[in-house]
Each structure stands twice: as structure tokens, then as C-alpha cells.
Amino acid sequence: MSLLNRKPRPIKRDREFLRDDRLIIVGCDDTYAPKQYFDAFRLRGVQVHVAETQDGQSSAQHVLNRVLEIEVNEDDERWMILDTDHCLKDQHFQGIIEAITDARQRGVQVALSRPCFELWLLLHHLAPDDVKGIADATEAEKRLREVLGSYNKTKLDMTKFLVQSVPSACRGAEELDATVKVKERPESNTSQVYRLWKSIIGKASPNQLPKALWPLRDELARREL
């Protein structure tokens, strides 16, 4: 059965939260870090469900297929988080561009990181200028080990990425992203994961958010004026 004809499978909404929670479905090409990261944040009013990589299938099109397979309501969202470390050259570039185009046509939002999701994690601790020169995923992980003392993406230590550091990470990532001319093929380091966080925050009412996220919520409200 083709994906177009397949009935989306439902996600059971967490009974610990409000019955009218918004659901954000996230697909990613990283098997480990993004799921552990977002699973650690338990926000009232919004649930983030990360669809895991299956059978090693991590191409952008496979990621898109996974998020499209999950049923959503009108107020829910679908996202893809993609690394660009190995996808912005040769035949890989064409594949990611086709998947991004397909995603947008289907209402799926995209957040790219160059070189990888670890750059987003670094921005919880470092200023934008401190991550601009990171060349690839190997260097990003090495930098995390230097900053944190250790780093294991298969067993993320979320005490190193507390909610209090999310606003500074978002501001740093947005500053980097403002310098990127072609968003689908970033020529310099960036992480658009801040866009996903702003969507999460925008879907919750202030009393449902940790106080650490209120400044970001206020910034979003001011921009809408």
C-alpha cells in the first residue's frame, strides 16, 4: 500500500496532560539525541512526539514518510529535523531538496542544522561566535565533550540541557540563521531547531509554560503586535 493511500496511525495522547493538548510530531534523521532531548521536556498543553528512525532508514524522504504516517488534528503540527553534514553535496543534496519541497506541499515544517543537531546542543552553553567554525558532526561532538566533560548521544545527560538554557539557545540559533541566505542549503553553521521551540511555546498558554520560557513567549507576543 502506498503512503498516499495508507491511513495515518493515531498517537495516544498522554492522559497526564490536558485532553485538548496540541500534538507536535517530529521526524529526525538522528536516531538518538533529538528524541531523548525532546522526551525530557514535559510541557502542559503541548506534547512533542519524536518518531524514531526505523531499520536504519534516515534519508530525508524516509523521515518525511514517518511523520506523514502519524495522524494529527487541525491544531497539531508535523516537523522534520534534519542534519546537513552529509546531505548538501552530490546526489544527497537533490534528495534532501526534493524531500523538503514535498514536506512543504504537505504542510510539514522543516528545521535544518548545519552540521548537525549537536550544534543546537552546543548553543545551550556557547555563544554563536563560538560555534561558527565547527566543520562537521565529529568536531561538534568533540566540542561538546570539551564543554560538558563528556558526551554520549546514545545516552544524553539532560542535566546539561535544562529548560533554563533554551531561551539563550534559541536566540543564538536565530542569530546564526539570520546570516544564512539559502535556508534549504545553509552555507554556514546554523540550527533551525529554535523555530520548533518557538512553535511549541506559541501553542501553550503562559500558565502552562515553565517561567524560564516566559521571556520567549513575550518576545513572540511582541512580534505579533
Q: One digit per residue, pLDDT tens: the chain, 225 residues?
A: 333 333 455 665 554 444 568 899 999 998 899 999 999 998 888 999 998 777 666 789 999 999 999 999 988 999 999 998 876 555 667 888 899 999 999 999 999 999 999 999 999 999 999 999 999 999 999 999 999 999 999 999 999 999 999 999 999 999 999 999 888 889 999 999 999 999 999 888 888 899 999 999 888 888 875
Neighbouring residues of 37: CB distance < 8 A, sequence distance ≥ 6 = 117, 121, 156, 158, 161
Neighbouring residues of 135: CB distance < 8 A, sequence distance ≥ 6 = 115
- Nearest Cα residue to 39 out of 14, 73, 69, 72: 14
In a domain, 205, yes or no: yes
* Cell output for 43: 510541557
In a domain, 207, yes or no: yes
* Cell output for 20: 485538548
Which residue(s) pair with 190 in the sheet? Answer: 114
201-205 — which CB contacts under 8 Å span 24+ positions? 203/22, 203/24, 203/45, 203/46, 203/75, 203/77, 204/22, 204/43, 204/44, 204/45, 204/46, 205/45
| Domain range for 152 | 20-213
Displacement of CA 94 from its chain's centroid (Å): 21
In a domain, 41, yes or no: yes
In a domain, 8, yes or no: no
In a domain, 136, yes or no: yes
Neighbouring residues of 191: CB distance < 8 A, sequence distance ≥ 6 = 111, 112, 113, 114, 117, 119, 120, 123, 173, 176, 177
Number of compact structural domains in the chain? 1
59 neighbors 95 (Cβ within 8 angstroms): yes
- What predicted TM-score, i.e. pTM, was given to this entire model? 0.89
Quote the radius of gyration of the chain (alpha carbons, Å): 17
Task: List, for residues 103-143, the tens digit of each pLDDT value.
Answer: 999 999 999 999 999 999 999 999 999 999 999 999 999 99
In a domain, 223, yes or no: no
In a domain, 219, yes or no: no
Longest dimension (CA), the chain: 49
In a domain, 140, yes or no: yes
